[in-house]
Amino acid sequence: MDNNQAFIKLALLENIPLIPVISYGAHDTLMVLADCYPLAQQLLNKLGMPWLLDLCPGVFPVYLGIPWGLALGPLPNVPLPVPIHTHVCPPIRFEHYGQAVSNDRDYVNACYRHFCTQMQRELDNLVQRVEQRYIY
């Protein structure tokens, strides 16, 4: 089981449904020109330097944003004022719950795939509704 699936295992163990919340539009709050993470990681490793405070950011973008203008790295920024559409989805309930199924790797994986598929379907529907709203 992947650590990203721990929430599925917990939901199965505690017999609770999952309520996904999805958003569309946040990607427009920042204009990313490129991700230099592999290059930055390679350079730091070559120099024998760790990430600041040993916190690997996972991304190292070159971007346009406020207040830095053209910026490099995971610096804090002020998001551009764009609409972000958020939707609280219907609860996702699984067929089986309990200690036994929460320890069944195949069942947890199947529930995780179902959850991701359902969230993607809801996100696709949200994107379609938002884009239809702005068609002239």
Question: Tens digits of per-residue pLDDT, 25-83?
Answer: 988 888 888 888 778 777 776 676 666 666 666 777 888 888 888 887 777 888 888 99
36 and 17 share one domain: no
The predicted model scores a pTM of 0.71
49 and 6 share one domain: no
21 and 34 share one domain: no
Question: Tens digits of per-residue pLDDT, 12-23?
Answer: 999 999 999 999
15 and 55 share one domain: no
43 and 76 share one domain: yes
Please report the DSSP string for 42-66 in residue order. Answer: HHHHHHT-PPGGG---S--EEEEEB
Query: Crossing angle for the helix pair 6-14 and 105-133, nearest 10 degrees?
Result: 110
Structural domain of residue 64, as residue ranges?
Answer: 30-80
Question: Tens digits of per-residue pLDDT, 83-109?
Answer: 999 999 999 999 999 999 999 999 999
The pLDDT value given to residue 13: 96
Provide the residue type at 87 as one letter.
H
